[in-house]
Amino acid sequence: MNHRLQLPQPPRRIVSLVPSQTELLFHLGLGDRVVGVTKFCIHPQEQVKQKKKIGGTKNFHFEAIDQLEPDLIIGNKEENYQEGIKRLQEKYPVWMSDIYTLEDAFEMMAGIGQVTDTAAQATELVQQLRQQFASLMPAVPPVPTAYFIWRNPYMGIGNQNFIDHLLARCGFENVLGHLARYPEVTPAQLQEANPKLILLSSEPYPFKEKHIVEFKAICPDAHVMVVDGELFSWYGSRLLHSVPYLQGLIEEVSSS
């Protein structure tokens, strides 16, 4: 993002504005240095309960952040809002990520490791994840798939985002991939796209089993499933749980 960050020493008071990167900080052994997190930072569950909440990912409580006197703030271009980030950058060192692919995620992990003096731990994590994802066996032939993140209106996964990248790695061919980012999708558009698989994410909208019937009514021939949204979209250390889950999902879809 063309920002240069210079720190005189490893940070001791870190505020994280991104749930998946908060979990990463704890994985790297930095839990005692994390002083503030968002209300959406829910992992690791017991540890984040003890941390000061500084608002949401798109509405920071600046006074709360000022009281914490951070010497590093960690954010993300997509998850956070430009106005808030710019305001923070006027007072604090702000390290930003911008993530579309697994490689981007690995670079983020290495970058955070470098800036927090935990490079060895970050390198070990990246190596472990590379090995896991190298073993992922995608569906063959690819399965035409639609992935939904919201209801009323229906919003799906288009192109140029991390979930689209993971769908491709699974052999789930994104039938909404010609649309930008996170498009609103009408029932008629979904019928025209004719997916064989419809995945309903558990977040940000909490899709449940009861919503399957809605999509079955639109696409009667599609296999409709509720999936763990964290394991498709959290690009930090939660990815350690993703490959076994995704492989099981691929096998279930392939056998149905």
- Round to whole Å and give the CA distance between 112 and 129: 16
Q: Which residue has the higher pLDDT, 215 or 4?
A: 215
Q: For residues 53 and 99, state if they share a domain.
A: yes
Q: Which residue is associated with the tokens 């990167």?
A: 21
Mark out the alpha helices in the chain (DSSP H runs): 19-27, 45-48, 62-68, 82-89, 102-115, 119-134, 162-170, 187-193, 212-218, 230-233, 242-255
Non-local CB neighbours of 49 within 8 Å, separated by 6+ positions? none
Q: Give the number of other CB atoms < 10 A from CB of residue 223.
A: 17
Per-residue pLDDT band for 30 (boundaries 50, 70, 90) equals: very high
Determine the Cα angle at 7 with ends 86 and 115, to 5°: 90
Residue 117 confidence (pLDDT): 94
Residue 4 confidence (pLDDT): 80
249's tokens? 């999902």
Q: For residues 96 and 160, state if they share a domain.
A: no
Residue 41 confidence (pLDDT): 96
Q: Report how many domains make up the chain.
A: 2
List pLDDT tens digits, range 177-202.
999 889 999 999 999 999 999 999 99
For residue 76, being part of any structural domain is answered with yes
> Residue 1: pLDDT above 70?
no
For residue 30, being part of any structural domain is answered with yes
Q: Which residue has the higher pLDDT, 6 or 227?
A: 227
Contact present, 140 and 131 (Cβ < 8 Å): no
For residue 28, being part of any structural domain is answered with yes
For residue 5, being part of any structural domain is answered with no
List pLDDT tens digits, range 140-166.
999 999 999 999 999 999 999 999 999
Identify the CATH number of the domain in which residue 42 sits.
Answer: 3.40.50.1980
Give whole-number Cα distances, 210 to 143, 200, 203, 229, 234, in Å. 24, 11, 15, 17, 25
Question: Torsion angle of alpha carbons 220, 221, 223, 226, nearest 10°?
Answer: -20
For residue 6, being part of any structural domain is answered with no
- Round to whole Å and give the CA distance between 196 and 220: 10
| Strand pairing class (143-150; 155-156) | antiparallel
178's tokens? 């010609």
Q: For residues 103 and 189, state if they share a domain.
A: no
User: Mean pLDDT across the stretch 127-137?
Assistant: 97
Query: Which amino acid is present at 111?
Result: G
Contact present, 112 and 125 (Cβ < 8 Å): no
* Secondary structure of residue 60 in the 3-state scheme: strand
Q: For residues 33 and 106, state if they share a domain.
A: yes
> Residue 2: pLDDT above 80?
no
Give whole-number Cα distances, 84 to 15, 17, 126, 137, in Å. 14, 11, 30, 41
Q: Of 105, 133, 161, which residue is a domain's last?
A: 133
Look up the domain containing 152 and give its range: 143-255
Q: For residues 78 and 159, state if they share a domain.
A: no
- Round to whole Å and give the CA distance between 182 and 120: 36
> Residue 3: pLDDT above 80?
no
